[in-house]
């Protein structure tokens, strides 16, 4: 084997249940990467397993392990090599991976967070106007002054049907690595798996609270920032550096990976009133709607394997493919 090969250990796939190979990769002194399977794929089952692992890790004391963060199908561990060598750490992590059994039996804590959304609101509309004015005048992804109708077209849907897809599922918050409190979400109901190409070139400005879609993910922009996802609308604050509203008292961000987000439609007036209460007054008069819960992977597997669900997923795939033959890419 090449001296450059970073693979330091492997757990072979298990018979029955969750089948994937587990690959342990060197990532410099102080880091260990654990990868599920050999293929670069988006598979919620990989992500769910990572949460079951983290649930277990939280109950263990591993010397020299500082922290960890999950991607969609990988975990990155940060350790202190003055306290533990990678080879020793590997023993602990392999043990945890072995202890976590077949995927079907897994469950982990997951909160349900209900967030109001306004589609095609005036703030995201202004951001798109700015992009058209300053960066790309004839951007094909701007239809009727917004990216919403374009995204509908790209998915072979009417604007009303696109709303139904977004409102019709819980969105699973997979990871937050790219931006503080960031929120990469995939739909738990695969029939709602909308997709979108990214901006080209990217945007220099995205308003706080914007909900966008890029690739298979939807994303809430926690703060004003650059960005490349197609804008759908706007939700309420999910990040507050001043930490003056009680929801941000412990941490400056509201959402965390493993949360399920359910969007419901509201009016722009109501949305702006919530911004005022949360950011200007820091007032507990607005309370976030968060329910503690448990996510059972078996329920998910049963659901995606239902005949009617499988049929409708296929049907939607076909519609998307048909639409994408003619809809221009930015």
Regarding 208 and contact with other proteins (CB under 8 A), the answer is: no
Confirm if 26 and 6 have CB atoms less than 8 A apart: yes
Classify the C-alpha dihedral 279-283-286-289 as positive or negative.
positive
Confirm if 71 and 268 have CB atoms less than 8 A apart: no
Classify the C-alpha dihedral 137-143-144-146 as positive or negative.
negative
Window of 113-121, 138-146, 185-193, 245-253 that interacts with other proteins by CB under 8 A? 245-253
Q: How far, in Å, CA of 187 to CA of 47, rounded?
A: 13
Regarding 155 and contact with other proteins (CB under 8 A), the answer is: no
Residue 137 Cβ vs other proteins, minimum distance, rounded to whole Å: 25
Regarding 64 and contact with other proteins (CB under 8 A), the answer is: no
Regarding 101 and contact with other proteins (CB under 8 A), the answer is: no
Regarding 109 and contact with other proteins (CB under 8 A), the answer is: no
Window of 14-22, 80-88, 145-153, 155-163 that interacts with other proteins by CB under 8 A? 80-88
Residue 76 Cβ vs other proteins, minimum distance, rounded to whole Å: 3
Find the helix or strand (DSSP H, E) in which 213 lies: strand 210-214
Regarding 70 and contact with other proteins (CB under 8 A), the answer is: yes
Window of 75-83, 99-107, 131-139, 293-301 that interacts with other proteins by CB under 8 A? 75-83
Window of 56-64, 68-76, 148-156, 287-295 that interacts with other proteins by CB under 8 A? 68-76
Regarding 133 and contact with other proteins (CB under 8 A), the answer is: no
In the set 64, 71, 109, 159, which binds other proteins (CB under 8 A)? 71
Burial of 269 (0-12, 13-18, 19+ CB in 10 A): exposed
What is the bridge-based pairing of β-strands 260-265 and 112-119? parallel
In the set 146, 165, 175, 191, which binds other proteins (CB under 8 A)? 175
Regarding 176 and contact with other proteins (CB under 8 A), the answer is: yes
Question: Nearest CA to 34 among 63, 6, 59?
Answer: 6
Residue 308 Cβ vs other proteins, minimum distance, rounded to whole Å: 26
Regarding 69 and contact with other proteins (CB under 8 A), the answer is: yes
In the set 192, 220, 257, 271, which binds other proteins (CB under 8 A)? 257
List the Cα angle 241/242/245 in 5-degree steps: 105
Question: Nearest CA to 120 among 142, 104, 138, 135?
Answer: 142
Confirm if 192 and 169 have CB atoms less than 8 A apart: yes
DSSP states along 62-75: -TTEEEEEE-SSEE
The count of residues interacting with other proteins (CB under 8 A) is 51
In the set 15, 67, 269, 292, which binds other proteins (CB under 8 A)? 67
Regarding 193 and contact with other proteins (CB under 8 A), the answer is: no
Regarding 5 and contact with other proteins (CB under 8 A), the answer is: yes
In the set 51, 68, 172, 229, which binds other proteins (CB under 8 A)? 68
Q: How far, in Å, CA of 219 to CA of 301, rounded?
A: 24
Question: Nearest CA to 297 among 49, 13, 20, 124?
Answer: 49
Residue 135 Cβ vs other proteins, minimum distance, rounded to whole Å: 19
The residue assigned the tokens 């706080």 is: 208
Regarding 41 and contact with other proteins (CB under 8 A), the answer is: yes
Q: 141-167 b/e with 16+ CB inside 10 Å = b?
A: bbbeebbbbbbbbbbbbebeebbebbe
Regarding 13 and contact with other proteins (CB under 8 A), the answer is: no
Which residues are near other proteins by CB under 8 A? Answer: 2-6, 8, 25-31, 33, 35, 39-42, 66-76, 78, 81-82, 85-86, 175-182, 184, 215, 241, 251-253, 256-257
């Amino acid at each position: 084997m090449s001296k450059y090969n970073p693979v330091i250990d492997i757990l072979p796939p298990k018979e029955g249940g969750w089948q994937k190979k587990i690959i342990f990769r060197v990532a410099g002194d102080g880091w260990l990467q654990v990868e599920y399977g050999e293929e670069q794929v988006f598979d919620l089952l990989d992500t769910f397993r990572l949460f079951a692992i983290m649930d277990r890790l939280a109950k263990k004391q591993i010397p020299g392990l500082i922290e960890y963060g999950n991607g969609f199908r990988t975990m990155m561990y940060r350790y202190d090599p003055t306290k533990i060598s990678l080879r020793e750490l590997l023993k602990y992590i392999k043990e945890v991976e072995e202890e976590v059994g077949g995927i079907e039996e897994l469950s982990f804590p997951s909160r349900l967070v209900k967030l109001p959304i306004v589609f095609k609101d005036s703030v995201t509309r202004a951001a798109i106007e700015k992009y058209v004015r300053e960066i790309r005048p004839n951007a094909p992804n701007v239809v009727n002054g917004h990216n919403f109708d374009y995204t509908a077209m790209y998915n072979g849907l009417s604007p009303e049907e696109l709303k139904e897809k977004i409102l019709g599922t819980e969105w699973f918050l997979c990871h937050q690595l790219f931006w503080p409190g960031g929120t990469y979400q995939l739909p738990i109901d695969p029939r709602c798996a909308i997709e979108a190409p990214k901006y080209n070139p990217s945007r220099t400005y995205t308003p706080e609270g914007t909900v966008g879609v890029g690739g298979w993910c939807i994303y809430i922009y926690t703060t004003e920032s650059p960005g490349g996802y197609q804008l759908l609308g706007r939700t309420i604050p999910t990040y507050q550096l001043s930490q003056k509203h009680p929801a941000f008292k412990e941490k400056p961000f509201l959402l965390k990976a493993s949360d399920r987000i359910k969007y419901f439609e509201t009016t722009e007036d109501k949305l702006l009133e919530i911004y005022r209460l949360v950011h200007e007054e820091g007032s507990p008069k607005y309370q976030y709607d968060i329910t503690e819960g448990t996510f059972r992977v078996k329920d998910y597997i049963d659901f995606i394997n239902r005949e009617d669900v499988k049929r409708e997923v296929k049907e939607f795939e076909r519609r998307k493919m048909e639409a994408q033959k003619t809809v221009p890419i930015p």
